[in-house]
Amino acid sequence: MNEESKEPQAIRKLAPGRLVIASHNEGKVREIRALLAPYGIEPVSAASLDLPEPEETGTTFVANAELKAMQAADLSGLPALADDSGLCVEALGNAPGIFSARWGLPDPGIEGIEPEAGEGRDFDRAMRRVNAKLDALPEGTSRAAHFVCALALAWPDGHVEWFEGRVDGTLIWPPRGDKGFGYDPMFVPEGHGRSFGEMAPEAKHAMSHRADAFAQLVAAVF
Ligand SMILES: O=c1nc[nH]c2c1ncn2[C@H]1C[C@H](O)[C@@H](COP(=O)(O)OP(=O)(O)OP(=O)(O)O)O1
Ligand SMILES: [Mg+2]
């Protein structure tokens, strides 16, 4: 398929305002909007449609992305794009992984993570917990980590397509930068000196797990 024939198909399938971003995470929604903008797609967010936040009962990133996308497509009658992502720390058996958002809660209900006082999701807390787990391991333990992003695109007829992206890097302490979201300030991508928290959005989009998954989605769908 040449470029000219791809363009009209993209517009027909995913017209502006005809795609729901099935995410309640503002940081993610901001990034997904920026990644879709070059294709002329202006999605509506799950929050603006008052869609509920489903329970993420899957055991993989893909399963959770699929569940979030299917629920949003079902409730809205529109195609829906969901993102399930997380930080995998190799020396921690790839934790926090699919529980990356939960590690920011005062009591994540996860064995080996002490409950704390407080309310709401807090990524300073989540990053501190990751760093404490690494510090408890023998000196010289690898601080290698990767982010994973699974995207699921669900159509109202029940058809789902999914894509998975990844970026490798190292965890630093203390965290650096106030850009991005989540674990960005403690993650330095391979071959770079700055953390995701120190990078402008365009720099992060040039190499992130989310951009990697998006490239696959764009190649398959547009
Ligand atoms: O680029 C990233 N930079 C930093 N941290 C990141 C990134 N990508 C995912 N993460 C971490 C934080 C996030 O909270 C969790 C995903 O959990 P995840 O369930 O997929 O998302 P969520 O609950 O925050 O929003 P929602 O499910 O409504 O899309 O992993
Ligand atoms: Mg979630």
CATH no. for 3-221: 3.90.950.10
Q: What are phi and psi of 114, to 5 degrees?
A: -65, 130
- Per residue in 143-156, pLDDT (tens digit) is 999 999 999 999 98
Domain spans, the chain:
3-221
Res. 11: pLDDT tops 70: no
Asked whether 198 lines ligand 1 (CB < 6 A), one says no
Known catalytic membership, residue 83: no
Q: Please enumerate, as own/partner, the contacts of 89-93 that have beta carbons within 8 Å and a separation of 24 or more.
A: 89/130, 89/133, 89/134, 89/143, 89/144, 89/145, 89/171, 90/142, 90/144, 90/145, 90/146, 91/134, 91/137, 91/141, 91/142, 91/143, 91/144, 92/130, 92/133, 92/134
Please give the Cα distance from 24 to 54 (Å, whole number): 10
What is the structure's pLDDT at 16?
64
CA of 191 to the centre of ligand 1 (A): 23
| pLDDT of res. 144 | 98
Of the listed 84, 107, 124, 178, which one is catalytic? 84
Using a 6 Å cutoff on CB, does residue 100 contact ligand 1? yes
| ipTM, interface predicted TM-score of the complex | 0.98
pLDDT at residue 39 in the model: 84
CA of 99 to the centre of ligand 2 (A): 9
pLDDT per residue over 41-81, tens digit each?
889 999 989 999 999 999 999 999 999 999 999 999 999 99
pLDDT tens sequence across 86-108:
999 999 999 999 999 999 999 99
Of 19 and 11, more confident = 19
Calculate how far, in angstroms, residue 72's C-alpha sits from the geometric centre of ligand 2. Answer: 13
Is the model's pLDDT at 4 over the cut of 70?
Answer: no
Per residue in 159-208, pLDDT (tens digit) is 999 999 999 999 999 999 999 999 999 999 999 999 999 999 999 999 99
Give the C-alpha separation, 131 to 195, whole Å: 15
| Residues annotated within a binding site for substrate | 23-28, 85, 181-184, 204, 209-210
At residue 112, the pLDDT reads: 94
